[in-house]
């Protein structure tokens, strides 16, 4: 499985729309920053026909250190789940299938 970088995304956009790569990288950075800020405010981020980033808090719990057997308190923390849009999921499966 290959990985695509922000630079590669900017390169592909540059070829499609002709805007300077530096400008495209700045635009990508701003989009990602806005998504991050919204998630920090615990707001759901929905991108139509792509998916949703859904933030939630886990509950605090008591765990056990397996080496010592000592109980440890695990504080609540924030997590983010990505839920893929049905249209995007269908497109991916049709291309691979």
Q: Taking the model in full, what pTM does it have?
A: 0.78
If pLDDT is split at 50, 70 and 90, which confidence band does 94 have?
confident
pLDDT tens sequence across 26-58: 999 999 999 999 999 999 999 999 999 999 999
- Domains in the chain, CATH or no CATH each: 1-41 (no CATH), 42-97 (4.10.520.10)
If pLDDT is split at 50, 70 and 90, which confidence band does 74 have?
very high
pLDDT at residue 82, as a whole number: 97
Averaged pLDDT score across all residues of the chain: 94
Average pLDDT of the residues in 46-74: 95
Q: How far is CA 16 from CA 7, 20, 32, 41, in A?
A: 14, 11, 21, 34
């Amino acid at each position: 499985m290959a990985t695509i970088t922000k630079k590669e995304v900017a390169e592909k956009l540059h070829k499609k729309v002709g805007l300077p790569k530096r400008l495209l990288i700045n635009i990508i950075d701003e989009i990602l920053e806005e998504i991050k800020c919204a998630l920090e405010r615990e707001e759901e981020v929905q991108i139509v026909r792509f998916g949703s980033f859904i933030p939630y808090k886990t509950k605090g719990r008591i765990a056990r250190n397996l080496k010592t057997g000592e109980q440890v308190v695990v504080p609540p923390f924030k997590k983010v789940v990505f839920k893929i849009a049905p249209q995007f999921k269908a497109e991916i499966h049709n291309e691979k299938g």
